[in-house]
Structure 1
């Protein structure tokens, strides 16, 4: 990301529309730029408010009514510059431009409902993403604050992974940093190890944190593999990292 454009992606970031690499770079920028951090907070709040707004399409009969009334509206003659000759009667020039304008208005009216609906859907998606992030943060806080929370950390090369487990909450939080960036079409997938049987536990980025999907139950370990985008029902590659979970 060019230095001059370093402040630009705040809107896309607030709507979760940045690719993973640009998101990571912009998050590093946010740590040192209070102005962008404030702008992201304001944009996220605005998107959430927009998501609760109601958008309505124009009445279905509007287009037909406008088209039917076009022929009943008296068109004004075109302006004739000084010294110029007015177009002969019946030449069509007297109504051609106004009718084109009316047709454009009809098209705009017909499209307005679609644009409003698109804006409403975009805002709703942003609100849902913000809500999911808030729920995820609350779930993480509950596990981290649990009296029985236990932590295990594993490292491999420059990568580090930490798992916090609460058996009372029957949940685990996964944190990672330094995992190698993956090519397009690949993702990191988490797994619970149920006595040698690997159970899917969610997808993660190279640097991130999340509540692992599913209950801990009797899992005694966890693993990380590289899988096709969208994940796999069973591991398809050797584990990047394996760790025993705290009892």
Structure 2
């Protein structure tokens, strides 16, 4: 998908209307496009406001008053069903009225629930976009830092891994290229090698062959960065030998 097309997907992304492939392409683009990130945030906020617009809370006690009055106020229907004697028409009318009002109240409650759900989804999307933008900015800051140093290692099947460290910012970025997709239910996990002790540094996206990952936490004197294959969601400690350990650049 070309960049010009990606710029047109901000609204569909905010409304969760993209396919999985389109979403992955757009999120890669979003990491480097401040204009699209801002537009996604604006669309998300608008969706939230529209959702809240249909969920105005009723006045206190309204439900109780309505339920009390429908038992006392007779309603006259246009005509009773066939076979209903006139003496029963008022009772039939009140029954229909109660059912109709109950249905209206149920529909109102359902609409309110949908509005809350829409608002929650919009808030979640906005938070995700905000996190993605902040992480992209931090990745760019590390890569552009005057003291940035890098080291590249060739991995299996023609893949490469590069670790970039900024001593001044005390942060590191892992750049993966042509990484094979991990086995089903597995994920690549990154670790800081604290001179023999592995410290969790975050997960890679299992759907992306090439990506830039801001390592979780400070470098804090680590000697290298390791990559392991772990169950989806990651592990507290490495469950396998590292595929590679990249020494941090001097």
Superposed pair shares fold, TM > 0.5: yes
Q: 1:134 Cα shift?
A: 1.4
Cα separation, 2, equivalents of 1:16 and 1:225:
32
- Secondary structure at the counterpart of residue 102 of structure 1: helix
- Secondary structure at the counterpart of residue 64 of structure 1: helix
Cα separation, 2, equivalents of 1:29 and 1:123:
16
Q: Which residue of 2 aligns with 1:158?
A: 158
Q: 1:50 Cα shift?
A: 4.0
The 1:59–1:102 alpha-carbon spacing in structure 2 relative to 1, beyond 3 Å, is same
Q: 1:12 Cα shift?
A: 6.9
Q: Tell me how many residue pairs correspond in the alignment.
A: 228
Can you list the C-alpha shifts for 1:181-233, whole angstroms capped at 9, x where unaligned?
A: 23443221100111111111001114232210011121121111111222112
Kindly indicate whether the alpha-carbon contact (under 8 Å) linking 2:186 and 2:230 is maintained by their aligned counterparts in 1: yes
Q: Which residue of 2 aligns with 1:242?
A: 245
Q: Which residue of 1 aligns with 2:32?
A: none
- Secondary structure at the counterpart of residue 90 of structure 1: helix
Kindly indicate whether the alpha-carbon contact (under 8 Å) linking 1:189 and 1:231 is maintained by their aligned counterparts in 2: yes
Cα separation, 2, equivalents of 1:132 and 1:30:
13
Q: Which residue of 2 aligns with 1:5?
A: none
Q: Which residue of 2 aligns with 1:6?
A: none
The 1:185–1:192 alpha-carbon spacing in structure 2 relative to 1, beyond 3 Å, is same
Q: 1:173 Cα shift?
A: 1.0
Q: Which residue of 1 aligns with 2:168?
A: 168
* Larger helix fraction of residues: 2
Q: Tell me the TM-score normalized by structure 1.
A: 0.77
> Which structure 1 residue ranges, 5 or more long, are not aligned?
1-8, 32-37
Kindly indicate whether the alpha-carbon contact (under 8 Å) linking 2:154 and 2:161 is maintained by their aligned counterparts in 1: yes
